[in-house]
């Protein structure tokens, strides 16, 4: 990627997450897709699971941003969690809640 072409507001990124290699394929009810189709994805912002109907649920895992950049800035950032491996979360554990500081009370 030629970062000199990434203007402000665009971001190039390379990062690693602690996602299960098979994306939960065969382990979770009706999951026949697996990692190839994005199931089992997680990161330190505990995103809503792709097939979870309850939007207060997510899945958290350690994330290491080894490169995020545009033509004006670059960063590498560890995003630690208090978990080992992908972990389902609910509400405050996911950083979701009505409180202003809910994001900082989560597992990651």
Tell me the per-residue pLDDT of 18-39, one tens digit each, with 9 for 90 and over: 888 887 787 766 777 878 877 7
Higher pLDDT, 32 or 86: 86
pLDDT at position 5 over 70: yes
The answer to the question of residue 93 being in a domain is yes
- Report the C-alpha gap between 10 and 32 in whole angstroms: 34
The answer to the question of residue 100 being in a domain is yes
The answer to the question of residue 95 being in a domain is yes
Whether the Cβ atoms of residue 43 and residue 17 lie closer than 8 Å to each other: yes
The answer to the question of residue 51 being in a domain is yes
Domains: count for the chain: 1
3-class SS shares of the chain: helix, strand, coil, % to 5: 15, 25, 60
Provide the residue range defining the domain that includes 72: 12-23+34-104
The answer to the question of residue 5 being in a domain is no
The answer to the question of residue 3 being in a domain is no
Check 18, 49, 68, 99 and give the catalytic one.
68
The answer to the question of residue 4 being in a domain is no
Instruction: Give this prediction's pTM.
Output: 0.75
Answer yes or no: 63 catalytic: yes
Mean pLDDT value of segment 70-90: 90
The answer to the question of residue 54 being in a domain is yes
Check 18, 55, 63, 99 and give the catalytic one.
63
Q: What are phi and psi of 12, to 5 degrees?
A: -100, 140
């Amino acid at each position: 990627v030629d970062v000199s072409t990434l203007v402000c507001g665009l971001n190039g990124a390379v990062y690693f997450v602690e996602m299960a290699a098979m994306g939960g394929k065969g382990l979770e009810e009706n999951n026949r897709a697996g990692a190839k189709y994005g199931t089992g994805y997680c990161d330190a912002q505990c995103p809503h699971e792709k097939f979870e109907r309850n939007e207060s649920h997510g899945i958290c895992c350690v994330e290491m941003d080894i490169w995020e950049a545009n033509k004006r800035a670059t960063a590498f950032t560890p995003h630690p969690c208090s978990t080992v491996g992908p972990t389902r979360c609910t509400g405050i554990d996911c950083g979701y809640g009505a409180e202003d500081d809910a994001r900082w009370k989560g597992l990651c």
